[in-house]
């Protein structure tokens, strides 16, 4: 279908889609919507910004029977923020219809949630742990729900939530229509998928994620400085609207944050050890623009949507290089420009080469006296060495050992090799 109007959706849904400003379905929507309408389980592999959320929300809303006061679809997302975002989009689609929905997330009063579930909603959106708790309390009755959506499955796996999903999915109907969405499909996720999905369709949108337009990728060598000292020089050379500094562990986040605070740079921390109350407070402060700098880990930051990020700083490269794409994709959104700065040392060289192969066009730069300067290309010395090696090999291949050797033949061969090498160097210079 080339236009949403071509689908035979109910009038209220077509009106909601129009009010959202959608006209043509995105590639993942074109492929997922018909599968969900037919009840065919599928894996949707796509990155942020491809229209993934509406690819499952729209057909689910279309399939709901408002006359049945029972759970008909469960949608789970690994973080409260992501679940809330999905729920808000769902709310825009159902409008003032009779479809009942509930948002069930951690960090809220569980007893109040149980009280609200005296009337079962038709669509549930929530985090895996809270849904599992309410199912085990027999407050949420999922045995009637034939549809299960697992959003951000790789993140759910990394955060240890697959076991929670397994516990309530096992109580759902045997003929379960399951839809798994994930940027990547880790091998360790396969046993869970095999348990609930028989020959699912695998929809893959873009093997390589397109790098966001409008991002300047700066690659900064640490040289003889400490990583934290280099970070400080970089920070003093930029004036961001909002910058996220990515680190790999909670301990590193705390260490970098305390270091910056000691240098008089106010910053916020986002990592998995924050309590729900602290997390909510920090997010409010960030949205109220109380900070210019956020120090964050990958798993915590990936589940949060923070508008207005002008700079991303990779204090260290992620262990899983796919997260590099998630990190830099935080900036240059909604048509704005952004800057992604990556600090690197000699041990990072191999990872940098891999990232370049992912399509990242690094510009080699450094900071000197608070000013940005362009450096020679990182590969220039290697390219010279490679060129020299090629000349040597070519010269040696052209000089053959004589059939009958005479005294001094080796020196004669070496002179011939040097003559050819000189000639090749002259030819290269002319090029």
Tokens 């690197």 correspond to 344
pTM score, two decimals? 0.66
| Residues in the chain, total | 431
3 state SS of 14: helix
Residues 69-81 have a mean pLDDT of: 94
Residue 187 has what DSSP assignment?
G
CB 296 within 8 A of CB 247: yes
pLDDT band of 182, cuts 50, 70, 90:
confident
Q: 256 or 335: whose pLDDT is higher?
A: 256
pLDDT of 332: 85
Q: Using CA atoms, how far apart are residues 106 and 215, in angstroms rounded to an integer?
A: 35
Give the percent of the chain with pLDDT over 90.
61
CB 44 within 8 A of CB 38: no
- What's the token pair of residue 241? 């609207």
Q: Which of 83-97, 298-312, 355-369 has the lowest mean pLDDT?
A: 298-312
Residue 114 has what DSSP assignment?
H
338-344 sheet: strands from edge to edge: 267-270, 293-297, 243-247, 311-314, 338-344, 215-221, 363-368, 371-374
CB 23 within 8 A of CB 162: no
Q: 209 or 37: whose pLDDT is higher?
A: 37
Question: Which domains does the chain possess?
Answer: 4-204 (3.40.50.300), 215-374 (3.40.50.300), 380-430 (no CATH)
pLDDT of 384: 45
Q: Which of 152-156, 216-220, 320-324, 342-346 has the lowest mean pLDDT?
A: 320-324
CB 321 within 8 A of CB 351: yes
pLDDT of 244: 96
Cα 203 to Cα 14, 35, 55, 70, 187, distances in angstroms: 25, 10, 12, 30, 17
Give the E-state strand segments of 254-375 in sequence order: 267-270, 293-297, 311-314, 338-344, 363-368, 371-374
Using the predicted structure, report yes or no on whether residue 210 has a pLDDT greater than 60. Answer: no
pLDDT band of 79, cuts 50, 70, 90:
confident
Q: 278 or 211: whose pLDDT is higher?
A: 278
pLDDT digit string, tens, across residues 243-255? 999 999 999 999 9
Using the predicted structure, report yes or no on whether residue 383 has a pLDDT greater than 50. Answer: no
């Amino acid at each position: 279908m080339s236009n949403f109007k071509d689908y035979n959706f109910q009038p209220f849904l077509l009106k909601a889609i129009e009010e959202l400003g959608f006209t043509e379905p995105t590639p993942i929507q074109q492929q997922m919507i018909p599968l969900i309408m037919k009840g065919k389980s599928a894996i949707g592999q796509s990155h942020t910004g491809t229209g993934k959320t509406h690819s499952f929300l729209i057909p689910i809303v279309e399939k709901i029977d408002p006359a049945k006061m029972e759970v008909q679809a469960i949608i789970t997302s690994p973080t409260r923020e992501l679940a809330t975002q999905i729920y808000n989009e769902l709310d825009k689609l159902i409008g003032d219809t009779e479809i009942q929905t509930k948002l069930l997330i951690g960090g809220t009063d569980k007893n109040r949630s149980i009280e609200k579930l005296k009337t079962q909603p038709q669509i549930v959106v929530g985090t895996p742990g809270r849904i599992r708790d309410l199912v085990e309390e027999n407050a949420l009755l999922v045995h009637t729900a034939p549809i299960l959506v697992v959003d951000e499955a790789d993140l759910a796996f990394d955060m240890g939530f697959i076991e929670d999903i397994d516990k309530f999915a096992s109580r759902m109907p045997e003929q379960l229509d399951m839809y798994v969405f994930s940027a990547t499909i880790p091998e360790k996720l396969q046993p869970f998928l095999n348990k609930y999905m028989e020959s699912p369709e695998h929809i893959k949108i873009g093997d390589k994620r397109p790098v966001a337009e409008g991002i300047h990728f700066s690659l900064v060598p640490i040289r003889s400085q400490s990583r934290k000292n280099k970070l400080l020089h970089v920070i003093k050379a930029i004036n961001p609207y909002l910058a996220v500094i990515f680190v790999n562990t909670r301990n590193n986040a705390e260490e970098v944050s305390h270091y910056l605070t000691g240098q008089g740079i106010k910053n916020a921390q986002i990592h998995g050890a924050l309590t729900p109350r602290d997390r909510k407070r920090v997010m409010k402060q960030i949205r109220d623009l109380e900070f210019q700098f956020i120090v964050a880990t990958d798993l915590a930051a990936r589940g949060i949507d923070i508008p207005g990020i002008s700079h991303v700083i990779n204090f260290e490269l992620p262990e899983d290089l796919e997260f590099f794409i998630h990190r830099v994709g935080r900036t240059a959104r909604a048509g704005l420009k952004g800057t992604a700065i990556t600090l690197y040392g000699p041990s990072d060289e191999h990872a940098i080469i891999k990232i370049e192969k992912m399509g990242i066009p690094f510009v080699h730069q450094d900071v000197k006296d608070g000013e940005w300067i362009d450096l020679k290309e990182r590969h220039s010395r290697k390219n010279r060495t490679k060129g020299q090696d090629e000349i040597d090999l070519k010269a040696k291949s052209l000089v053959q050992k004589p059939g009958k050797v005479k005294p001094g033949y080796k020196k004669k061969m070496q002179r011939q090799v040097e003559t050819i090498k000189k000639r090749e160097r002259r030819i290269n210079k002319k090029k």
